[in-house]
Amino acid sequence: MEYLATSPLLRSKNAQLIEDAVDLVASYPAIPITADCVIFGFEENQLKVLLIRSDLVQYKGLWSLLGDIVYANEELDTAAYRVLRQRTGMDDVFLEQVKTFGCPERHPGGRVVTVAYASLLNIQHHQLKILDNELHWHNIDHLTDMAFDHKAIVDECYRWLQKRIQEHPLGFNLLPEKFSLRELQNLYEAILGQPLDRRNFRKKFFAMDFLVDVGEYEHDVPHRPGKLYKFDFDKYEKNKRKWIGIDF
Amino acid sequence: MEYLATSPLLRSKNAQLIEDAVDLVASYPAIPITADCVIFGFEENQLKVLLIRSDLVQYKGLWSLLGDIVYANEELDTAAYRVLRQRTGMDDVFLEQVKTFGCPERHPGGRVVTVAYASLLNIQHHQLKILDNELHWHNIDHLTDMAFDHKAIVDECYRWLQKRIQEHPLGFNLLPEKFSLRELQNLYEAILGQPLDRRNFRKKFFAMDFLVDVGEYEHDVPHRPGKLYKFDFDKYEKNKRKWIGIDF
DNA sequence: GCAAAAGTGTTGTCCTTACACCCATGC
DNA sequence: GCATGGGTGTAAGGACAACACTTTTGC
């Protein structure tokens, strides 16, 4: 991490130690950093991502991710949570750093490096907070051209999500507190982009043993109503390690 | 990613579009960014990581990762490859972004955000280039206190490596061109930190079918010499998808 | 001939897959 | 009563884990 005034290869163990780290850091080229959130949601059996209209003339009409600059003394994670909170009103949501994008040409206004975070949130629980009508859920399969390199960022985060959901059952964050197994399966199918066998899916999740039967049933469905379940976080935490590698 | 002069919640679709993106970016707080490389190597049946003495007085005597500032118009990946090349003379080596570390207090000279990359390289092939005697291979299990937050970075990259090597057999990058199955198994055991069954290990790798028998044997070993193999990259590339999730 | 590691197969278990029928409800 | 999806079990195949003996070499 240390900046080397001369080529690193020319340094030796006799090189002078740097006394003033502050001067050193002040001499570094500095680059604006942003945090972008790829917020996944699930609605009408479709995986969606939350986007806003770009406010740059260059990208007029195009959609972009929710993001903001990282403040001078702000943790990266904190900046990402702040973006999430400002946009959705939520701060108790799962959020994970996925990748940093640093192409010098990715922003038309000059170099800006962005740290991409992915997040899953329940559309039903949060839709009331989203009043700004420039903010919309977009089907992940129908993303048109986006501002900046945001399409590439979404793609990367989508691949991350597909992998992640097979290692940890975090899909629950996208569902209402009580959900039917059909909803859960729809979610997995939407994320993985492939149909799954219903019986095997149910077997697998029951075997994981963190679904709690809440003793209620679906309402207003034009067929036999399914049982509703909720997620037992305690059981999940206890057995976590065992599911590294859930295949469908 | 767009910077919002006012709170995002107050923006509406009638908000003015930003005409001058350059002005906008110029108004952002800027932060120095470095690229740090966690370079893993394998020698004497031990997983090692390449470190250098810190050149900061504050960290006198402590070891730190190989890193350098990211230049104003340099790709992050390019900076990481440059660090690797400057330190080891290699530029044909596997390198992957792992995570970005942005704690405001991680550098004593002021805020510096670092993008951590992990890399695997063959100690035998590259040892000649390492002339600087402040550069040393350290056993991953015996890392003492390190400069900055570099211990945390190494830990994160180590976890990444353990996971990665079970998905893709990139351990070959750490071995000589021709290697015995025992060497390969030693490598996997060193990385995963656990013993593996020899017969099952061999079965698994033969089943993957990218080991080519080069028709040679080990020399100068005080026991029956093992066959030497090399890695068939073409076969690997063709069958890649099948090994997402190699368990030991 | 002894020490040390190479090399090799089988078996039981578990997990995954594929697959078909009855059930409860709304209309 | 019919359409719709809910709910269930089994059998076959494949992957994994456990495990012991013979072979080859250096000394």
One-character DSSP codes across chain A:
----SS-GGG--TTSPPBS-HHHHHHTS-EEEEEEEEEEEEEETTEEEEEEEE--BGGGTT-EE-EEEEPPTT--HHHHHHHHHHHHHS--SS-EEEEEEE--TTSSTTS--EEEEEEEE--HHHHGGG---TTEEEEEGGG---BSTTHHHHHHHHHHHHHHHHHHS-GGGGGS-SSEEHHHHHHHHHHHHTS---HHHHHHHHHHHT-EEEEEEE--S-SSPPPEEEEE-HHHHHHHGGGGSS---
With contact defined as beta carbons under 8 Å apart, do A180 and A228 qualify?
Answer: yes
Q: Using the predicted structure, report yes or no on whether residue B10 has a pLDDT greater than 50.
A: no
Say which residue, B117 or B125, is predicted with more confidence.
Answer: B117
Distance of B69 CA from D11 C1′ (whole Å): 61
Q: Do B86 and A32 touch (CB under 8 A)?
A: no
* pLDDT confidence bin for B3, thresholds 50/70/90: very low
Interchain CB contact of A114 with B (< 8 Å):
yes
Residue numbers in A near B34 (CB within 8 A): 1, 3, 28
Q: Using the predicted structure, report yes or no on whether residue B6 has a pLDDT greater than 80.
A: no
Q: What is the pLDDT of residue A2?
A: 45
Contacts across the A-B interface (CB distance below 8 Å): 228
Mean pLDDT of A218-225: 92
pLDDT in tens, A195-210: 999 999 999 999 988 8
Interchain CB contact of A115 with B (< 8 Å):
yes
Collapsing DSSP to helix, strand or coil, B133 comes out as coil
* pLDDT confidence bin for B244, thresholds 50/70/90: low
Q: Using the predicted structure, report yes or no on whether residue B192 has a pLDDT greater than 80.
A: yes
* pLDDT confidence bin for B2, thresholds 50/70/90: very low
Mean pLDDT value across chain A: 88
Q: What is the pLDDT of residue A123?
A: 81
Q: Using the predicted structure, report yes or no on whether residue A41 has a pLDDT greater than 80.
A: yes
Mean pLDDT of B207-212: 91
pLDDT in tens, A171-185: 888 999 999 999 999
Interatomic CA distance for residues B124 and B130, integer angstroms: 11
Q: What is the pLDDT of residue A161?
A: 95
Q: Do B100 and A104 touch (CB under 8 A)?
A: no
Question: The whole model's pTM is what?
Answer: 0.91
Distance of B168 CA from D25 C1′ (whole Å): 34
Mean pLDDT of B170-176: 87
Q: What is the pLDDT of residue A151?
A: 98
A242 touches strand D (CB under 7 A): no
Q: What is the pLDDT of residue B149?
A: 97
A198 touches strand D (CB under 7 A): yes
Percent residues over pLDDT 90 in chain B: 67
Task: Single out the residue of A92, A95, A83 nearest to residue A164, CA to CA.
Answer: A95
A209 touches strand C (CB under 7 A): no
Mean pLDDT of A147-163: 96
